[in-house]
Structure 1
Amino acid sequence: MFTMKPRRRLTAALAAAGLAAATLAAGGWSSGGGHGHGREVDLQLLAINDFHGNIEAGEGLTHPDENGVEVPAGGAEYLATHLAEAREGERYSTTVAAGDLIGASPFLSAAFGDEPTIESLGAMGVEVSSVGNHEFDKGIDDLYRHIEGEDDYAGAEFPYLGANVVDEDTGEPVLEPYWIKQFRGGVKVGFIGMTLEGTGDIVAESGIEGIEFLDEVETADKYAEELRDKGVNSIVVLLHEGGYPVEEDTGHECESLDGSGVGMSGPIVDIAEQMSSEIDIVVTGHTHQEYVCSVPDPAGQPRMVTSASSYGRVFTEIEATYDRRTKDIVRSSVTGSNTVVERDVEPDAAQSELIAGYQDDVEEVANRVVGHISEDITRGDTRAEEFALGSLIADAQLDRTADPGLGGAEIAFMNPGGVRADLLHGEDGVVTYAELFSVQPFNNYLVTMDLTGAQILTMLQQQLPGEDRETTLFLQVSEGFTYTWDTSLEGTDQIVADSLMLNGEPIAAEQTYRVTVNSFLADGGDSFHVLAEGQNRLFGEVDLVALEAWFAEHSSAEGPVAAPEPGRVNVI
């Protein structure tokens, strides 16, 4: 059963089967609860996910409003104001997050190691977050830096939770597994934080050596039991794993803007269906989707599962009744809604001051000219196609590692998800350092390695969906390497084995080639596991440094860079 709340983008109410809407409205909420009197109190949870350092209200940040019109949305100044307004009159409120708050960040945050984002989130009242995969972009030591602080940097004001992030030798978590919010009057809510089990496959292995990521369901159940042993019966999971709204009926009720019911798919469905019934609410992320859904728990009872899009453009408001006698959330009282962070409110003064301070410091670096382009050089519409900017990056990485002393590379490959923004010509074709950074924000190293022709074929076959990935990822290739992708064939046969060519010569299965990829791919990231087998590795420049150096050598106002021609991969 669902009820729409006014002025909200997506809303859902979870009620036991057969419970009438009038009963839900009256039975779950006591008139004195919001003030902490009597047996029941009104809880409020405000949630975000996948913020990715988007503290500035950039022109490119938009979101459809309630009428489906694309409007400017997001920015820490406006998100902070929206959250503050939502908290007004709510005595039992907390603000939480489901990971990827940092990493893959825009220039302003990344230029200072994402310290501005951690400061911003603390200032806007985030009290707890799970880690996501991008919290590990620079390794566990950098995450500890954000948690503990260093020198003049105080670090996070909120706990970063990682219940399923454990030492592979001891099996013990290397981060706090849960946090208990203690409200006035003895009201307690436990939060278990986790990242997706597959995090190890999508971050650089070198930064997480000695760490493994455990099953989400088993971990959540373990700590739910531990919380209940401590007398904490109301439990919320913050999980950096998600799903996708779908139009067909999947048995998982969701609410769309126009009031039509939609279903849900993706990894979170199985996880939510199996997770202990003692868990009351699941706040998710990772897929950058927006949903407020009901997924039945193992006892068959509806349980709310939410996600608030990405980049701070949306936040979720969850309301629930807490019963002082049972010390638990009344499941049938839970309602949720997603709100677009429109910029029609006063910007938060503290956030504006924080952002302005960093902008003053970074302006000189950001505006440095690194090269020129003659036209827009862009990404594809999806990650399942060849696109010009990916080809250019692969060319640059090959060029920077081709010298025998720098790796002796013959081929380079670039993962599509590592290309995060377009290079746009604008009025003068100038490319600044900030723009280049937006394209490649991860600070991966270039790694040149030995691969056999057979391993290169396996790598190309691993572009296809399989056990570890549900979608196609199209590796971008450097000039001189070509092959045929025949979509009429089945499975890995789509990559036509005898079509692989390097500078017009067939790739031989047993011959060894020098191949350059970034350190993320070199560790088997994005489930390109065969790359972890590469031998005789030579680590080179940071990818952004390499790209900047390539632009300095290959472009000028008189000779700007053009978009590479398509067709390196013959798709039929």
Structure 2
Amino acid sequence: MDFHSHRLLKSSAVLLALLSISAFSSNVSAKDSGNNIEIKTNLDSATEPEQSGWSSSKKYRHDIPIQFLGINDLHGGLERTGNVWFGATKYPNAGSAVRLASYLDNAQSSFQRENKHGHTFRVETGDMVGASTSNSALLQDEPTMQALKAMNFKIGTLGNHEFDEGLGEFHRILVGGKPTKHYNAAEMAYPHRSSGLQIVISNVVNRKTNKTPYNFKPYLIKTVKAANGKKVKVGFIGILTTTMPTLTTYKNYHPYKFIDEAQAIAKYDRLLRKKGVKAIVVLAHTGVATQTDAQTKQTSTSGPVVDILQKLYRIDPKNSVDLYFAGHSHQYANATVGHTHLVQAIYSGEAYDDIIGYLNPKTHDFAAKSLVAHVFPVLSAKQDPTVKDNAKVTAIVKDADQRTAPIVNQKIGEAAIAKNLTGRDENNQYFENETGDLVCDAQLAGAREATAKQNLHVDFAMTNGGGVRAGLAVKPDKSITWGAAQDVQPFGNILDVVSMTGQQIYDVLNQQYKNFGNGHKTYLLTAGLKYDFTKNDDQTQPFKVTKVYGNDGKPIDLHKTYHVVINEFLKGGGDYFNQFKTAKQVATAGVDTDVFVKYIKDQTKAGKPIAAPKLDRKHFVAGK
């Protein structure tokens, strides 16, 4: 479908008057040679002038106006903010649940002012919870679910982080059940209320019963009514990435089977069409990426979502999937694949999807060429002072802050200087950051202390980059709080000490640079060892590790056995590091969060305030 000329509905006056943010179609198209499916990348920009004629178009006067507001990967980010780039424009400190709520309300109000009989759906695509900030994590993410309820989200799907503590625990907080085990006092006293969110998931079934777990539905049908009484049904299909065995621990994923994404969509697309539902929306926790070629400056859209849609078009050429909300990869996307509009709104409430169209009561589908999709940033109060913080969500966040303050605000140590340590959003070119290296230092020290009585020396530490969720915050007085440390390591993974040969260490480090052909990218952080790597003339592995050596500069022996501390996620082959699965476990070293907190305490007590490590553990060597 081509974009129809339209008047873009602004989420706030400042977006037009102050920043002039609207959107444009870049008209960058490509056809997949194997599928003959056009892929068009569309970019939301800060410069394109407002278009006209969409909402007032006489062409659609007999149709029903409809709007979809979407988010993905909130991750319990009640107050988390970050830098967002739209084109060449940077928006600092974007995001937070409070600001997101206001932007969604403004977007919906703008739409309904122009379309009095229009209908708005608010949808999310997984990872609502998990890897959360401390004011949500300490309360088992129940404040996040209540914030989503206050934001009027009614339909969502599962992400991999909904499995972090077992799907049963997520279901408990979803429906407002009482805790099944004892947590901290703040969580036990929290009012456990239903979120009112309907979960739709079509490709996750119980391994034993082949049924969708917890009475979740594979699809939902919602009826939209026009002022004249005419009706159109809209179908929603939920999807979770089938790479789940690489994204959580065995005990969390093994109870379930994960059905091929395209096959599941095709199955329920056909079923919905048989029921007369032709306006179909997919809510999917599957990743997508928008890239710009450095030489040609051409922008393209790729990743697992594109692969899934291409397969869907092969097996179901007449599919009626008009809109695909993506998640999981934490990136911006706005594209069309065939006739399907594809969007993803970055991460943690830093942006939101706003899709507007018309439903045709005669065809029971979206009116031809009526869908217009945009992704907008959620600006800070400084960037956009005309948008006021949402009162309901503000109250939820304030309440969570007050309940968790006695734990979160505990001072656990001091930094050498009053400056935050960089996190994964500020990686250097070799994918190192100060907090990540510090975490590995802490795990190596903790593992050595834990195994000292066993006469077992731990040589190295490795952790996955995705396990270090934030930079370490340092207060102006140089103090470091428990909450700051927990925000860095929120998962509570068990640390395992494993034995590995030097060859296995080479192999696992090289797995960072494998091209899995599905858009998957990850990296390792290390302590106790450093390595050299260089370009490799192999598309399946564009870089290779050439030399691994200890902090003493001596190369490791390929045939010697070393002891390495890793987390239980990696031990299970998480993030495609399956070499760790072959390693023999010889000891445990506690919980990662606790180990990190203790390290900060111990270093400070020893008169060694926390300093940013030098980022020199990965060394690129040209020409080898």
* Pairwise TM-score range, normalised by the shorter structure: 0.7 to 0.9
Residue 194 (structure 1) shift:
1.0
Report whether the alignment pairs 1:483 with 2:520: no
- Answer yes or no: is the 8 Å Cα contact 1:24–1:333 preserved in 2: no
- Answer yes or no: is the 8 Å Cα contact 1:464–1:471 preserved in 2: no
Residue 11 (structure 1) shift:
5.3
Decide whether aligned partners of structure 1 residues 523 and 66 sit closer, same or farther in structure 2, where only a CA change above 3 A counts: closer
Instruction: Tell me the SS of whatever aligns to 1:231.
Output: coil
Report whether the alignment pairs 1:208 with 2:253: yes
- Answer yes or no: is the 8 Å Cα contact 2:534–2:546 preserved in 1: no
Decide whether aligned partners of structure 1 residues 544 and 92 sit closer, same or farther in structure 2, where only a CA change above 3 A counts: same
Cα distance in 2 for partners of 1:224, 1:155 equals 30
Q: Who is 1:68 aligned against?
A: 89
Report whether the alignment pairs 1:396 with 2:396: no
- Answer yes or no: is the 8 Å Cα contact 2:496–2:571 preserved in 1: yes
Matched to 1:396, the amino acid is A
Q: Could you give the per-residue CA deviations for residues 97-130 of structure 1, whole angstroms, max 9, x where no partner exists?
A: 1112211222211121111111100111101111
Cα distance in 1 for partners of 2:547, 2:119 equals 65
Report whether the alignment pairs 1:286 with 2:332: no
Supply the RMSD in Å over aligned alpha carbons: 3.2
Q: How many corresponding residue pairs?
A: 542
Pick the aligned partner of 2:269 from 215, 224, 236. 224
Pick the aligned partner of 2:342 from 302, 305, 308. 305
Residue 338 (structure 1) shift:
2.2
Residue 72 (structure 1) shift:
4.5
Decide whether aligned partners of structure 1 residues 451 and 210 sit closer, same or farther in structure 2, where only a CA change above 3 A counts: farther
- State, as a whole percentage, how many aligned pairs show the same letter: 28
Q: Who is 2:242 aligned against?
A: 197
Report whether the alignment pairs 1:236 with 2:287: no
Pick the aligned partner of 2:223 from 182, 197, 216. 182
Pick the aligned partner of 1:273 from 284, 305, 310. 310
Matched to 1:112, the amino acid is L
Decide whether aligned partners of structure 1 residues 409 and 261 sit closer, same or farther in structure 2, where only a CA change above 3 A counts: closer
Matched to 1:316, the amino acid is D
Q: Which range moves more in the overlay, 219-228 or 485-494?
A: 485-494
User: What is the 5 A alignment of 1:141-540?
Assistant: 141-151=168-178, 152-174=191-213, 175-184=216-225, 185=229, 186-247=231-292, 262-275=299-312, 276=316, 277-296=319-338, 302-342=339-379, 343=381, 344-375=386-417, 376=419, 377-379=421-423, 380-382=426-428, 384-402=430-448, 403-404=451-452, 409-467=458-516, 470=519, 473-479=522-528, 481-487=529-535, 495-496=544-545, 499-501=548-550, 507-536=556-585, 538-540=587-589
Instruction: Tell me the SS of whatever aligns to 1:225.
Output: helix
Decide whether aligned partners of structure 1 residues 28 and 201 sit closer, same or farther in structure 2, where only a CA change above 3 A counts: farther
Instruction: Tell me the SS of whatever aligns to 1:332.
Output: coil
Cα distance in 2 for partners of 1:130, 1:485 equals 40
Cα distance in 2 for partners of 1:23, 1:387 equals 46
Instruction: Tell me the SS of whatever aligns to 2:73.
Output: coil
Residue 27 (structure 1) shift:
6.0
Report whether the alignment pairs 1:120 with 2:147: yes
Residue 569 (structure 1) shift:
3.8
Decide whether aligned partners of structure 1 residues 496 and 467 sit closer, same or farther in structure 2, where only a CA change above 3 A counts: closer
Q: Which range moves more in the overlay, 506-515 or 123-132?
A: 506-515
Q: Could you give the per-residue CA deviations for residues 308-327 of structure 1, whole angstroms, max 9, x where no partner exists?
A: 22221222221222122332
Q: Could you give the per-residue CA deviations for residues 238-286 of structure 1, whole angstroms, max 9, x where no partner exists?
A: 111232223469xxxxxxxxxx994322222222233242212111122
Instruction: Tell me the SS of whatever aligns to 2:344.
Output: strand
Decide whether aligned partners of structure 1 residues 507 and 308 sit closer, same or farther in structure 2, where only a CA change above 3 A counts: same
Instruction: Tell me the SS of whatever aligns to 1:355.
Output: helix
Cα distance in 2 for partners of 1:383, 1:223 equals 43
Pick the aligned partner of 2:163 from 127, 136, 139. 136
Residue 541 (structure 1) shift:
1.8
Residue 495 (structure 1) shift:
4.4
Cα distance in 2 for partners of 1:111, 1:170 equals 33
Decide whether aligned partners of structure 1 residues 510 and 206 sit closer, same or farther in structure 2, where only a CA change above 3 A counts: farther
Matched to 2:276, the amino acid is G
Instruction: Tell me the SS of whatever aligns to 2:168.
Output: helix
Decide whether aligned partners of structure 1 residues 502 and 209 sit closer, same or farther in structure 2, where only a CA change above 3 A counts: farther
Pick the aligned partner of 2:107 from 86, 91, 95. 86
Cα distance in 2 for partners of 1:13, 1:159 equals 35
Q: Taking structure 1 as the reference length, what is the TM-score of the superposition?
A: 0.85
Q: Who is 2:131 aligned against?
A: 104
Q: Which range moves more in the overlay, 68-77 or 527-536?
A: 68-77
Decide whether aligned partners of structure 1 residues 530 and 66 sit closer, same or farther in structure 2, where only a CA change above 3 A counts: closer
Q: Could you give the per-residue CA deviations for residues 119-169 of structure 1, whole angstroms, max 9, x where no partner exists?
A: 100111101111112222222222222333322412431122221122334
Cα distance in 2 for partners of 1:388, 1:72 equals 20
Q: Which range moves more in the overlay, 223-232 or 93-102?
A: 223-232
Matched to 2:360, the amino acid is D
Cα distance in 1 for partners of 2:552, 2:478 equals 31
Residue 217 (structure 1) shift:
0.7
Q: Who is 1:253 aligned against?
A: none
- Answer yes or no: is the 8 Å Cα contact 2:84–2:350 preserved in 1: yes
Q: Who is 1:52 aligned against?
A: 75
- Answer yes or no: is the 8 Å Cα contact 2:501–2:560 preserved in 1: yes
Q: Who is 2:16 aligned against?
A: none
Q: Could you give the per-residue CA deviations for residues 432-490 of structure 1, whole angstroms, max 9, x where no partner exists?
A: 111112211222221122323332222111111222664664422222x3333233665
Cα distance in 1 for partners of 2:173, 2:362 equals 39
Matched to 1:293, the amino acid is A
Q: Who is 2:34 aligned against?
A: none
Decide whether aligned partners of structure 1 residues 43 and 232 sit closer, same or farther in structure 2, where only a CA change above 3 A counts: same
Cα distance in 1 for partners of 2:519, 2:282 equals 24
- Answer yes or no: is the 8 Å Cα contact 1:374–1:425 preserved in 2: no
- Answer yes or no: is the 8 Å Cα contact 1:4–1:12 preserved in 2: no
Instruction: Tell me the SS of whatever aligns to 2:495.
Output: strand
Q: Who is 2:181 aligned against?
A: none
Decide whether aligned partners of structure 1 residues 511 and 4 sit closer, same or farther in structure 2, where only a CA change above 3 A counts: farther
Matched to 1:210, the amino acid is P
Cα distance in 2 for partners of 1:122, 1:205 equals 31
Residue 222 (structure 1) shift:
0.8
- Answer yes or no: is the 8 Å Cα contact 1:239–1:283 preserved in 2: yes
- Answer yes or no: is the 8 Å Cα contact 1:28–1:333 preserved in 2: no
Report whether the alignment pairs 1:29 with 2:68: no
Matched to 1:226, the amino acid is L
- Answer yes or no: is the 8 Å Cα contact 2:232–2:365 preserved in 1: no
- Answer yes or no: is the 8 Å Cα contact 1:468–1:527 preserved in 2: no
Instruction: Tell me the SS of whatever aligns to 1:423.
Output: coil
Decide whether aligned partners of structure 1 residues 493 and 195 sit closer, same or farther in structure 2, where only a CA change above 3 A counts: closer
Cα distance in 2 for partners of 1:567, 1:169 equals 49
Cα distance in 2 for partners of 1:160, 1:126 equals 11
Residue 332 (structure 1) shift:
1.8
Cα distance in 2 for partners of 1:370, 1:345 equals 37
Residue 192 (structure 1) shift:
0.5
